[in-house]
């Protein structure tokens, strides 16, 4: 794609995850910028360099790496690309780039999932899956390579200034980058063509493992993007998004419909988060069960906010009641 005097090059990079390939975006110019990096695997790194070489570009020319969020498919290769190019890595101040699941984090997640009613054998397989997934992220880069962002900054790029938008929800450290002059939004996983991004369950290790209200945060992020003025969005997966405001409306409609589905399942007798997830999503593999539980817990916050449901978070297992 050509935007003004800057080529925006989509780099489609393979991942070992069910989501399939991830998009990275090369903003071409005298000081190129790369938005997201793919996973840290030989096949992804080879694909990145080969796609650049086919366009006469070199990784060594890279000057700045911007990360939408620290999930392995988007940020796994950041440290390796810094090592090869010397590029500065710009990321959210809350990002845990390169961090792997600690035993304490896995234990806390296990306790919470058990209280949600997730069977012990499913939890054990999920924790093993998390450990395997961490193999596709490079070690943490040196602190001197990092520029920590909070949202509101303006970063130089070949497209002109990129406005940094804090958009938590799918991940607590999620950022979008708006090239207002070009009318382009780089939206990571906040907006996708065919699905509403999963609000991932996150227990914050820096806040006593307090659970973040991911869906409520996501709704606030959608509201912020609805009025950003972008004419086209480049997402982290899948095709470009030509109607940002319209997609936000469709996502909000989907969330309202799914909220009603969850409430109907509780009224139908689902009494724990895991039972509710099974009622809504059916039988799934291990990864699917964890994602379904993440989404279910996130919707409990929304149902509580709207006074449709009472959640007895203090009970073991956590107990759900339709509002009286």
The closest alpha carbon to 173, from 68, 286, 36, belongs to 68
Cα 224 to Cα 242: distance, rounded to the nearest angstrom: 17
Query: Is there a domain that residue 253 lies in?
Result: no
Looking at residue 195, what is its pLDDT? 85
Q: Model's pTM, two decimal places?
A: 0.94
CA quadruple 92, 94, 98, 100: dihedral sign: negative
Q: What DSSP state is assigned to residue 113? A: H
Q: How far is CA 77 from the centre of its chain?
A: 16
Q: Where among 213, 242, 271 does a domain terminate?
A: 242
Between CA 285 and CA 126 the distance in angstroms is 10
Distance CA 155, CA 65 (A): 11
Tell me, yes or no, whether 9 and 111 share the same domain.
no
The Cα-based distances of 311 to 57, 217, 277, 292, 317 in angstroms read 54, 19, 15, 18, 11
Contacts of 75 (CB under 8 A, 6+ apart): 36, 37, 67, 69, 91, 95, 97, 137
Are 287 and 171 found together in one domain? no
- Which mean pLDDT values do the consecutive 10-residue runs of the chain (324 residues) have? 71 94 97 97 97 95 97 95 96 88 86 92 81 78 91 97 97 97 96 89 91 96 95 97 95 97 97 97 88 95 95 96 86
The DSSP bridge partners found for residue 155 are 162
For the record, the structure tokens of 255 come out as 């969330």
Mark whether 89 and 118 lie in a shared domain.
no
Q: How many Å is the Cα radius of gyration of the chain?
A: 20
* Per-residue pLDDT, 259: 97
Q: Give, for 211, the enclosing helix (H) or strand (E).
A: strand 210-211
56: domain CATH number is 3.60.15.10
Residue 315 and residue 213 share a domain: no
pLDDT at residue number 36: 98
In-domain check, residue 25:
yes
186 and 233: one domain?
yes
Do 94 and 105 fall into the same domain? Answer: no
Label residues 28-47 b or e (16+ Cβ within 10 Å = b): beeebbbbbbbbbbeebbeb
130 and 278 fall within a common domain: yes
Among 262, 259, 247, 257, which Cα is nearest to 190's? 247
Q: Please indicate, yes or no, whether residues 172 and 230 belong to a single structural domain of this protein.
A: yes
Domain with 148, as residue range(s), is 1-99+141-242
Give me the pLDDT at residue 1, please.
57
**In this predicted structure, what is the pLDDT of residue 43?**
97
If asked whether residues 89 and 31 sit together in one domain, one would say yes
Backbone angles phi, psi at 157, to 5 degrees: -155, 165
* Number of independent structural domains in the chain: 2
302 and 169, same structural domain? no
74 in any annotated domain: yes
Quote the pLDDT of residue 5: 52
């Amino acid at each position: 794609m050509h935007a003004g005097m800057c080529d925006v090059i989509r780099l489609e990079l393979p991942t070992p995850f069910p989501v399939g390939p991830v998009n990275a975006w090369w903003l071409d110019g005298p000081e190129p910028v790369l938005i997201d990096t793919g996973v840290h695997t030989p096949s992804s790194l080879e694909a990145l360099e080969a796609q650049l070489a086919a366009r006469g570009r070199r990784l060594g020319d890279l000057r700045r790496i911007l990360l939408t969020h620290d999930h392995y498919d988007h940020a796994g290769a950041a440290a390796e690309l810094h090592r090869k190019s010397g590029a500065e890595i710009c990321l959210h101040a809350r990002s845990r780039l390169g961090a792997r699941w600690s035993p304490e984090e896995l234990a806390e997640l296990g306790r919470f999932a058990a209280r949600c009613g997730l069977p012990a054998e499913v939890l054990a397989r999920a924790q093993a899956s998390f450990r395997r997934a961490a193999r596709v992220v490079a070690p943490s880069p040196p602190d001197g390579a990092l520029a920590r962002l909070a949202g509101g900054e303006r970063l130089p790029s070949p497209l002109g200034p990129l406005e940094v938008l804090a958009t938590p929800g799918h991940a607590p450290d999620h950022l979008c980058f708006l090239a207002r002059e070009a009318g382009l939004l780089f939206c990571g996983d906040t907006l996708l063509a065919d699905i509403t991004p999963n609000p991932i369950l996150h227990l914050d290790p820096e806040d006593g493992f307090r659970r973040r209200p991911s869906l409520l945060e996501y709704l606030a992020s959608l509201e912020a993007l609805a009025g950003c003025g972008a004419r086209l969005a480049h997402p982290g997966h899948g095709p470009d998004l030509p109607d940002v405001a319209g997609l936000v409306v469709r996502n909000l409609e989907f969330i309202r419909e799914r909220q009603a589905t969850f409430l109907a399942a509780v009224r139908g007798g689902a009494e724990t988060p895991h039972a509710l997830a099974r009622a809504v999503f059916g039988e799934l593999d291990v990864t699917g069960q964890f994602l379904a539980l993440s989404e279910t817990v996130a919707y409990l916050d929304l149902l509580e906010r709207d006074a449709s449901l009472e959640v007895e978070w203090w009970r073991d297992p956590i107990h759900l009641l339709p509002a009286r």
